[in-house]
Amino acid sequence: MEKYNCIIIEDEPLAAEILQEYIADIPFLNLKNTYKDALRALEDMRSNEIDLIFLDINLPKLKGFDFIQTLKNPPHIIITTAYHEYALQGYELNIVDYLLKPIEFSRFLKAVNKLKMLNSLKSYSSSVFIPQGSSYMFVNTSKKKVKLHFEDILYIESLKEYIKIYTSDKIIVTKYQLGQIEEHLPKGDFLRIHRSFIVSKEKIEAFTSSEIEVGNKQLPIGRSYKELVNNLLQGISGI
């Protein structure tokens, strides 16, 4: 079984202890160390190969998001915090997941399984095939091609070099860039709202100036997309 070397950067002793216990229960995670501040972790990471960081945001000396931006080739990162309002900023930095304290084990397990799923796909040759002028595409996933009609798509999420395609009854993960698939989607039917999200205009259920609701899921509107997205949505709704 492949194991992922991980570290914890957390200045709250109880929170760090809980994460340590959770990690110990996951066979494919190997905890290398726990740090109270990011600067110390940064020093040790130069000589140790780390696959995953459990990172608090509100840290002494160097804050969590500032720490991420100092890394040239960051490993996978799962944010652990008590502050929900920084989720948008986290996803703009391509984190794996954003866990709110107090963290339940079931939610922790979901986050690390998401990481395992992404890494397991690296052994597959995955792509997307879209016949010219068609109303569907074939998506390579788990060594088979799956037919997917554009009208069934709710939204598409970027996971670094992978995308996650959501429909009303299934989720498909494949190795592809969000920008690449955006070029092939039917013009006018889909809307890029964030560096990590594309939504189907037809499936939008509600929206505010900062979020869009699709399939009972609230998706953030990125700062650089906000003006364009809001103008388009107001035009569609007649407001």
CA distance 84 to 39: 24
Alpha helices in the chain (DSSP H): 13-24, 38-45, 64-70, 87-92, 105-120, 178-184, 226-237
Task: Specify which residues 30 forms β-bridges with.
Answer: 5
pLDDT at 182: 86
pLDDT at 126: 44
Note the pTM of the prediction, 2 decimals. Answer: 0.56
pLDDT at 133: 64
Q: How far is CA 168 from CA 26, 62, 139, 149, 215, in A?
A: 31, 41, 17, 12, 7
Question: Which CATH fold would you assign to the domain 4-121?
Answer: Rossmann fold (3.40.50)
Hey, is 226 helix, strand or coil?
helix
pLDDT at 24: 96
Hey, is 152 helix, strand or coil?
helix
Angle subtended by helix axes 105-120 and 13-24, to nearest 10: 60
81-96 CB burial, b ≥16 within 10 A, e <16: beeeeebbbbbbbebb
All CATH 2.40.50.1020 domain ranges of the chain, comma separated, are 151-237
pLDDT values of the chain reduced to their tens digit, one per residue, 239 residues = 578 999 999 999 999 999 999 999 999 999 999 999 998 888 778 778 899 999 999 888 888 888 988 888 888 999 999 888 777 776 677 788 899 999 999 999 999 998 877 666 554 444 566 666 678 888 877 667 788 899 999 999 998 778 899 998 888 888 888 888 888 888 789 999 999 999 999 999 998 989 999 988 999 999 888 888 888 877 665 54
pLDDT at 109: 95
pLDDT at 36: 93
All CATH 3.40.50.2300 domain ranges of the chain, comma separated, are 4-121
151-237 carries CATH number 2.40.50.1020: yes
Q: Which residue is listed with tokens 């492949």?
A: 2
> Cis peptide before 102, with omega less than 30 degrees from 0?
yes
